[in-house]
Amino acid sequence: MWTKALFYQIACLLAFRLDPSHHGSYADNSVTINAEHNLHQSYMDTIFGELVHNDETFQYKQQMLALGKLRVGSVETEEIDNSKDFEDLIKHMDGDPRSLYEYMVSNMGTFSRRRQKSSIQKSHDGLVKYRLKLNLPDDDETSDISGTLNLFGGILTYAGFEHFDCFNPELRHKEIDIAVVGAPFDTGVSFRPGARFGPEAIRLTSRRLHGGLVPVRDSHSKYGRIDPYDAKTHNLTIIDCGDVPMTPFDNRVALNQLYRAERSIHKHRSVQKKPSPKIITIGGDHTVTLMALKSAYENYGKVAVLHFDSHIDTWNPKVLGGGITDYMGLNHGTFLHYASEQGYLNEGHCFHLGLRAPYIDADYDRRHDAECGFQTINAREIDGPRGMKGIIERVKRNVGDLPVYITVDIDVLDPAHAPGTGTMEIGGWSGRELLTILDGLQGLNVIGGDVVEVSPPFDTNSEITSLAATAVIDSLLTLMIVNEV
């Protein structure tokens, strides 16, 4: 049956126009003549107007036209209004659907040209508005410079997320589902420092993530359809809490400052299913993870830690760092020993992934690591018969529904993929391999995470390492979101 809706669809599909003369000419290669100068405009002229068009070029083009060397472009100045088409169509068909059908068949070529023009029309709307002459907006007009995508300017927050002072008790009523927070701290490293500048460098490379640039993932999965930077796809409140002011003069105070900051974020209200916000911490050296784990443990109970790193980081302080004072014992290679000692870890459900750095006292380190509750997936297991899939399956099977904390030391990547880090080890995973494994973990109950050890002073000018960190955070965000929507 010919229904009104069906007619309308057909009319839209073909960008149908019943009476061309009524709306201006759309015949191929024709020109809408508004002024003499427009007569021989090229496509370039129509876009740049007087910037490229003057009397001299006009004369030149006339010569070229006369010689047949220049093709006259078509100029469209009117927008296609399908609703008008529809009204005209109804009038024209005069109650007889066959007259519509015949009209469409006899004009098929014209329709398809119109359709092409209709599809480019939208993207050119802005240009059409200012075409022919450079008509700048009114001096008080700011709609094109306010609240619009700002890729390389503006106040820096992670991926353009909203910011407020999450540590201010007076703002505790403000809702947070996922918080990103910087931990600028690098006085717990054993080798190259610089990770205190990690958070700002990572925010800098996160600029291309926001504002309508959609991540490329398998769009057939729920995971693939989530865009952390488009709230419409998840309805969660994601806040960049900024950096915790951590003193560079006393690690004990600095780490306590971080703990109190994480604790403060966890106290915010969350509309997601979980009782408390989830936090992604941007390091900082790996020592900062201990404080993030402490606060996560206090809110979610014992956590299964997935530790992506080339090093074990469960070193007993007797083996690494400790000695003259206890203070020396807590550093970026021992924090997991302390996490285990403090009871934060869901032992037996924790993994090292991508391990390859040398042990210090091999037999003791291995034994102690197992006592801390870790299983190990060496970097080269990726080359084994079961590859990435085997790694993903083993972790998922073991962890099940437990609360999971994912900590990514960027040195898990090969130095070719992440040179800007404190303690490089050859033979690591590529960026793609790491992301495939992270994405493979979808479905796990990820309640917190971090990316640490990005040391911008050792990065390249192209900021590869920071960029890798943003991709890791992108995965962490999506892993967290997918369980909430």
Ligand X SMILES: *[C@@H]1O[C@H](CO)[C@@H](O)[C@H](O)[C@H]1NC(C)=O
Interaction between residue 77 and ligand X (CB under 6 A):
no
Interaction between residue 409 and Mn ion (CB under 5 A):
yes
The minimum distance between CB 295 and Mn ion, in angstroms, equals 19
Interaction between residue 234 and ligand X (CB under 6 A):
yes
Give the span between the Cα atoms of 478 and 178, in whole angstroms: 11
User: Is the peptide bond preceding residue 284 cis, with omega within 30 degrees of 0?
Assistant: yes
Interaction between residue 376 and ligand X (CB under 6 A):
no
The minimum distance between CB 483 and ligand X, in angstroms, equals 13
Which residue, 276 or 331, has its beta carbon nearer to Mn ion?
A: 331
Which residue, 132 or 481, has its beta carbon nearer to ligand X?
A: 481
The minimum distance between CB 226 and ligand X, in angstroms, equals 8
**Range in contact with ligand X (rule: CB under 6 A) among 230-238, 257-265, 274-282, 352-360:** 230-238
DSSP 383-442: GSTTHHHHHHHHHHHHHTTSEEEEEEEGGGB-TTT--SBSS--SS-B-HHHHHHHHHHTT
Over its C-alpha atoms, the chain yields an Rg (Å, rounded) of 30
The number of helix segments (H) and strand segments (E) in the chain equals 17, 8
With CB under 6 A, what is the number of residues at the site for ligand X?
A: 4
Interaction between residue 463 and Mn ion (CB under 5 A):
no
DSSP 348-396: TSEEEEEE-SPPSSHHHHHHHHHHTTEEEEEGGGGGSTTHHHHHHHHHH
Residues 247-306 close enough to bind Mn ion by CB under 5 A: 286
Provide the Cα torsion 122, 78, 74, 7; round to 10°.
70
Which residue, 158 or 315, has its beta carbon nearer to Mn ion?
A: 315
Q: Which residues pair with 182 in a beta bridge?
A: 243, 282
Interaction between residue 221 and ligand X (CB under 6 A):
no
Which residue, 192 or 225, has its beta carbon nearer to ligand X?
A: 225
Q: Which of 45, 76, 227, 313 binds Mn ion (CB under 5 A)?
A: 313
Choose from ligand X, Mn ion, none: what does 234 bind? Cβ within 5-8 Å by kind.
ligand X
The minimum distance between CB 475 and ligand X, in angstroms, equals 19
Choose from Mn ion, ligand X, none: what does 51 bind? Cβ within 5-8 Å by kind.
none
Backbone angles phi, psi at 250, to 5 degrees: -155, 110
Give the span between the Cα atoms of 107 and 26, in whole angstroms: 13
x/- mask, Mn ion, residues 107-126, rule CB under 5 A, reads --------------------
Q: Which of 134, 271, 360, 485 binds ligand X (CB under 6 A)?
A: 485
Q: Do the beta carbons of residue 92 and residue 101 sit within 8 Å? A: no
The minimum distance between CB 234 and ligand X, in angstroms, equals 6
**Range in contact with Mn ion (rule: CB under 5 A) among 37-45, 128-136, 409-417, 460-468:** 409-417
Which residue, 243 or 309, has its beta carbon nearer to Mn ion?
A: 309
Give the span between the Cα atoms of 288 and 259, in whole angstroms: 9
Choose from ligand X, Mn ion, none: what does 196 bind? Cβ within 5-8 Å by kind.
none
Q: Which two tokens stand for residue 8?
A: 């309308």
**Range in contact with Mn ion (rule: CB under 5 A) among 78-86, 135-143, 389-397, 406-414:** 406-414
DSSP 169-222: GGGTTS--SEEEEEE---TT-SS---GGGHHHHHHHHTGGGSSSPPP-S-TTSH
Interaction between residue 214 and ligand X (CB under 6 A):
no
Specify the amino acid at residue 10: I
The minimum distance between CB 443 and ligand X, in angstroms, equals 17
Give the span between the Cα atoms of 394 and 187, in whole angstroms: 35
Which residue, 118 or 455, has its beta carbon nearer to Mn ion?
A: 455
**Range in contact with ligand X (rule: CB under 6 A) among 232-240, 244-252, 386-394, 457-465:** 232-240
Residues in the chain: 485
Q: Which of 42, 57, 190, 233 binds ligand X (CB under 6 A)?
A: 233
Torsion-angle region of 17 (φ positive above 0: left; ψ -120 to 50: alpha; else: beta) = beta
Q: Which of 9, 235, 342, 460 binds ligand X (CB under 6 A)?
A: 235
Residues of this chain that interact with ligand X (CB under 6 A) are 233-235, 485
Residues in contact with Mn ion by CB under 5 A are: 286, 309, 313, 409
